[in-house]
Amino acid sequence: MLPRFEVVARRRPVDLVAPGPAAPLLAPYAAVTAALDGPATLELTSGEVRLSGAYDGTGAGLQVTAGGRTTTHRSRRHGRPDGPVTELGLTLTGTHLSVLTRADGPWTVRGRVDLADRVDTRAEAWLADLAPASRGALTDVRAGGFGQLGLRDVRQVTHADGTTYRLDGRVLLTATSAGPGFFDTAHTSVWSLDPVTLELSHRADLFFRRPERPGAFGDHATHLVRDGERWLVATSTWGDFDRRRAGATVAVTLAETNADLLAGRHLLDTRPLVLPTTGLRSVGVWDPHLVRTDDGWLVGFVTAPRFFRFHPALAAGPALDSLSLRSAATDRIATEGTTVMELDGAWRVLASDGRDGRRGQRRGYPVFDLDLQQVGALDAPYPTNIPWPTLVPDSDSWLLVGFNGRPYGGPLPGYGTHGDVVFARPV
């Protein structure tokens, strides 16, 4: 069906401050960086709230002023660099405030604090007044939206019929931009890819309102679809996921807009995209992928009988608001990245088997028919983590775009700062 693939390149576009203007900040994803000549402080302020990250010549820490109270936060284990510091960074990602330093190498997270009990960082009125500030021995101050420590959940932008959407010969991709933490520090971004040089260029950041509650969220694991003159954006509500919260769940929402989502920052209204799990036990659904065939819509997704045990499923229907469950690969327990595409004239479902799957269902890319019966597999190297099988037509060949689990930012953030974008071509 498909040739054997080998890895040809990896890319890791790290940038604390995303390209674009400093304002407006539509969601709680902001950053300030500066070059250091000595002790200095970076700040994000809104009303009476002041969020500060400072370097005093020996270490870095955070200070939070909110609700008439000021608290100081400094990591004894991670706050003190081993050598000289040349740059300081302050980031707000969701409810998490982080301070970072670097010299000649990568950024290292020196401190982090969760603001959830202190500040409603997702409130749009609060965000409208959020502004950067700085003081001390610093130069080259940059401020704006938060960029990324790594990229994962990479998916090509498509037309509604499943074909690749290109712009001036470049492939468009959505990705989850990793923050200094896991689910609730990440957000959705849009990138262009030169299929020859494999260079990635940041184009846009997408944020979402929820239909059931106020605020701006960094939901991610997204599929961006061009349907005539409009965009459809299906995303997963990972932006505030906390497994410890009673009734924790993940759902899929859908945005529709005529705005140019290939440039700038956007805050999109959404509605529920109800993905049926009839006959299945499900605590959440995610990783949507939408295709409209001659017979109607197909929506690939992932469903979980519990966290974190999950498998692919496929819904079908004449419209996105009238879907029924067509099939589910219930024999899988660690498989996601569900992707619907046409191969050799037949509709297939591609997915990714993680390392925690059952024997014979680990570290590979199964190919299913629409009944989710396995009919083959991609013959390709399998990086770490659970890379999605994003298969891009490239002239008379193919380009496989995936990602890995390589972390960034030092030990303090823990899991979730991945990864590199990994490219493979046929051999």
pLDDT number for residue 1 = 72
What sign does the CA torsion over 164, 167, 168, 171 have? negative
Q: How far is Cα 32 from Cα 22, in angstroms, rounded to an integer?
A: 9
CA nearest 206: which of 217, 195, 192?
217
Which token pair is 392? 């891009």
CATH code reported for the domain at 5-11+150-426:
2.115.10.20
Which token pair is 68? 């008439």
pLDDT number for residue 357 = 97
pLDDT number for residue 303 = 99
pLDDT number for residue 244 = 85
Question: Residue ranges of the domains in the chain?
Answer: 5-11+150-426, 15-147
Q: Taking a C-beta distance cutoff of 8 angstroms, is the pair 256, 304 a contact?
A: no
Q: Taking a C-beta distance cutoff of 8 angstroms, is the pair 145, 130 a contact?
A: no
pLDDT number for residue 49 = 98
CA nearest 166: which of 241, 247, 262, 67?
262
Which token pair is 7? 């890895």
pLDDT number for residue 243 = 85
Radius of gyration of the chain (CA): 21
Q: Does 15-147 carry CATH code 2.60.40?
A: no
pLDDT number for residue 376 = 97
pLDDT number for residue 195 = 96
Q: Taking a C-beta distance cutoff of 8 angstroms, is the pair 220, 236 a contact?
A: yes
Q: Count of residues for the chain?
A: 427
Locate the DSSP E strands across 241-295.
252-257, 264-268, 271-272, 284-293
CA 173 to centroid of chain Cα atoms: 11
Low pLDDT (below 70) residues in the chain: none
Q: Helix (H, G, I), strand (E, B), or coil: what is residue 319?
A: coil
